[in-house]
Structure 1
């Protein structure tokens, strides 16, 4: 009987097997990707590694609005390494941020967010029980010092706006850029709310440094975004990272210096401003650090950075847009001034006058709509996998809320590109609150809404009413203004002329 010698795989072509295995793996990967894509919102095709970054242009929010026409009010893109969904309607934003707040209230783990206090701050911190307590404490201090009936806000704004008007009338020619003066005036209000009204902040080098710091941080925002979306860039172009970190370090050093000075002179029986209120809160919760919610003094102090940044920049930018738009549309100035004169006579405005000057308030709302200070707000992130509408969204997906798209939506606003305060008024000359509520999304939606929105609205009312009660402004430069988009949206530099009314 012959023996058969069987040699395994004797007649097998190994190259063929390897090819088949590779093809199976490739097809498996393709099919897996295909089914993942099918579960995502629709969206345009991007490029490998960089995603859609090169497609967004100088105004990403405007680009998103155009994309929404084709892909709907929820679509998917990739910002470098980050999977991203863009919400382009009020309904979509409300459905995500208000109806599913536990999932859509996180922040993306961007490089810059980690650089800012390791994502433990009030604005950029991860959403958690600790953050909720942090917000509660900060909001309580803000209410006590800045938005209560007995707050010094009205006194401080009155003092600073009087200085601003005097400076413009006495010290300026008829062709100047008002931006620096606006930043100093708004900054002075917040600085004194934080550290006490006894400070002569205009001669305080710390205050001057603070305003400069905010400018440099905004200037470095583009570098920060670049590194956020393409983290590997920091190994290839370290200068980008260095520029970002230098900006953030300036802000941190300023906050630490102010905290140290406040701590050294702190008196629990005489609280000068919000910083003393935060120190008091830190002391109150100090013993709970280990045994309760994990709140730390360092976290509470980080609130100072958030108040400085958001509290100054948003109000200042809105005022810059106001002066520009009213200097172009002098007929709207005239209508405002007629209402101010009829209601206030010769006295200055107070917070009690809010609600009595509907055309002034409508103009402020229209400035916020037209200027769109924060076109995409601060991005959110999903804290877990979630089914949103019919889509499956993964944990860690970046979420942009396209406020610009809402403010320019032709289905909501007639002639949205025109500056027309009357769109916020009824025939009876009262504010249309439904439309005012749309503008309130400028301050965020849901559980990450800016806690300083009431303070900002009060400041804007007092500043704008006081300025245009005292003077007219005329544009002395090209009216075809553009937008500078960094952290927020500022108008391109312009020049005005001042004409005193009295």
Structure 2
């Protein structure tokens, strides 16, 4: 009886703290259950739909509980810029998610790290990207190599009589080849896709975990949940996934160690080579406790691969779907390229003339609204947000998904309308509310590469081909929401324009 009363007392204390102390100091939001928070809502309704509904009910500043963890979400464009750009240092922290103790030990990597570890490695990664040609014609040539390979493959398939294309797969391997050439120094082969499929599986699983209710519920107390039915299977799946990607990355790094001369003064040809040479230089100079460890390398590679492959390929897949569903948009893009380009390969030099193509890319990014829940930030000091006193270490999100569907900024937000990004003279412009890469100091590291890829793939594919539906197999455009939003499986028809 005594033990029962003790347990009952502990539960009462927990519930009092959870409902009356923690919630009282935070902005309003949907009612959370103990341990699982608001994740129960995602069982039958996609995350982005729930967040949009709650935002309409509770306003531009609200609190959502992901499992045991409260997250303050921000949905107003001006407020987001005031917080994350003008006062960026106050929101530059990262939520220390428990799963990253397994995925990215010691909170390493490029996305979830913070402090000097994050700053030094982000700066290093950006410098490597620049050295590899980002911002210059060298990177454009890398991307155009894979664009050309995709065009040639598609024409070869058409000549062989193919009438139905699973084009998402082809976009996937093309974009995967680009990030793989940057990180590991080689492209994937369409003739033998085994290695790409293995690498793609790693990226896909990382994304799927983020959308799992069980995964989010276990976040704070995975040591306890791992022994319970259902949760036990999820835990084992995560451990198997971790072993798989660690083996894949360690194999890639080991191959590099065997084949490169760490003492060479030659410019590195990929990220891993640049990292290993920099690490060797620091070790040789006797620098103690530098932030370029083996663990950081693996975590950074995981972040680069997942972010660099999954998001761009999926956005391009949505672009193809939208121009098939809106044939007048496809015609306008192609008429513009007929006027300014002709049948040659489109390059960045053409970008200034292709206003409607640029608008189509922007509208594809906005409407596909790829990330239903943004990567969580953490306050580095006490802050005040519209009268709410938010304590240090609170998890906080600039919720870009609701901004890009907000009727205040984008009237008719659920319709595909590239014209919304053209001014009265027909020139392309991007308003501040278009923020697919987020904003502030923790905006997407790969934004420059992604913008390059999205323009070159979109412009060249629409210039070379006409896309349509396969008779009897309509494209639904159904949204499959996880940590990113992918289209339901689809096929299309393709014909050559020139």
- Deviation of 1:351 after TM superposition, in Å, equals 2.0
Distance of aligned partners of 1:168 and 1:285 in 2 relative to their CA distance in 1, 3 Å threshold: farther
Contact 1:105 1:382 in 2 (8 A): yes
1:244 corresponds to: 238
- Deviation of 1:393 after TM superposition, in Å, equals 2.4
- Deviation of 1:500 after TM superposition, in Å, equals 1.5
Contact 2:133 2:139 in 1 (8 A): yes
Q: Deviations over 1:92-123 (max 9, x none)?
A: 32233223433322222223222122243333
State how far apart, in whole Å, the 2-side matches of 1:211 and 1:32 are.
40
Q: Deviations over 1:257-290 (max 9, x none)?
A: 1111111111432633232222222223335775
State how far apart, in whole Å, the 2-side matches of 1:399 and 1:146 are.
35
Matches within 5 A, 1:54-453: 54-56=40-42, 57-155=44-142, 156-171=145-160, 173-196=162-185, 203=192, 205-221=194-210, 222=212, 224-228=215-219, 231=222, 232-236=224-228, 237-267=231-261, 268=264, 269=266, 271-286=268-283, 290-291=287-288, 293-433=290-430, 435=431, 437-439=432-434, 441-453=435-447
Q: CA RMSD in A?
A: 2.9
Query: Please, which moves more after superposition, 181-190 or 201-210?
Result: 201-210
- Deviation of 1:86 after TM superposition, in Å, equals 1.3
Distance of aligned partners of 1:289 and 1:148 in 2 relative to their CA distance in 1, 3 Å threshold: farther
Distance of aligned partners of 1:263 and 1:219 in 2 relative to their CA distance in 1, 3 Å threshold: same
- Deviation of 1:481 after TM superposition, in Å, equals 2.2
SS at match of 1:151: helix
Consecutive unaligned residues in structure 1, runs of 5 or more = 1-21
2:3 corresponds to: none
- Deviation of 1:491 after TM superposition, in Å, equals 0.9
The answer to whether 1:472 aligns with 2:466 is yes
Q: Deviations over 1:136-180 (max 9, x none)?
A: 111100111141314244243344333443354245633332221
- Deviation of 1:90 after TM superposition, in Å, equals 1.4
2:456 corresponds to: 462
State how far apart, in whole Å, the 2-side matches of 1:463 and 1:393 are.
43
Consecutive unaligned residues in structure 2, runs of 5 or more = 1-7
State how far apart, in whole Å, the 2-side matches of 1:358 and 1:341 are.
13
Q: TM-score, normalised by structure 1?
A: 0.86
Query: Please, which moves more after superposition, 256-265 or 160-169?
Result: 160-169
- Deviation of 1:452 after TM superposition, in Å, equals 0.9
Q: Deviations over 1:325-358 (max 9, x none)?
A: 1111111111101111111112111122222211
State how far apart, in whole Å, the 2-side matches of 1:293 and 1:473 are.
51
Contact 2:47 2:481 in 1 (8 A): no
Contact 1:101 1:446 in 2 (8 A): yes
State how far apart, in whole Å, the 2-side matches of 1:181 and 1:100 are.
42
Query: Please, which moves more after superposition, 198-207 or 117-126?
Result: 198-207
